Amino acid sequence: MDQLKLDNQICFPMYAASRLIIREYQPHLDKLGITYPQYLVLLVLWEEDGISVNDIAHKLILNTNTVTPLLKRMETLGLVSRIRSEEDERKVIVRLTEKGSIMKAEAAHIPYSLMADISPDELKMEELVAMKIKLEEWIDFLKKKSEKEL
């Protein structure tokens, strides 16, 4: 049963890489007082402020019941506000607070710092970009597959 060996699984290297990358982010995020999932929400809102909980969940490939408690904690931290949409009261709109907006400038160094920590001799930028593109293709495939199954 070689198919059940850990070394033969496609999922494990992706899982391990994800956890190790998040570990690299953590010292930077600790300085900001946020978690990695909160950072992802902020990235979404820094691109487009004032969007619905559903839109955030869709962009992060998460369920709304995962995003809602995350947003509540961020609201407690003073990073976001949540208000019911005037057009459709079933929708909750999330906006950055002043503190959440200011944090963008504080976080701007994070991607550069992470890249500086990767030795150019060990992993070239072109390899990272190619890997990102391939992962995005996998994600698109898996999202379409799961949407068909619903």
Q: How is domain 9-117 classified at the CATH fold level?
A: Arc Repressor Mutant, subunit A (1.10.10)
Residues 3, 5: Cα–Cα separation, whole Å = 6
Query: What global pTM score does this model have?
Result: 0.90
Q: Could you count the other beta carbons within 10 Å of the beta carbon of residue 79?
A: 25
41 HSE (CA, 13 A, CB side): 30
CA 117 to chain centre: 20
pLDDT at 121: 67
Sequence-distant (6+) residues with CB within 8 A of 107 are 28, 32, 39, 42
Pairing, β 51-52 against β 80-84? unpaired
The pLDDT profile of the chain, 150 residues, written as one tens digit per residue, is 899 999 999 999 999 999 999 999 999 999 999 999 999 999 999 999 999 999 999 999 999 999 999 999 999 999 999 999 888 889 999 999 999 999 999 999 999 888 887 766 677 888 888 999 999 999 999 999 888 886
**Residue spans per domain, the chain:** 9-117
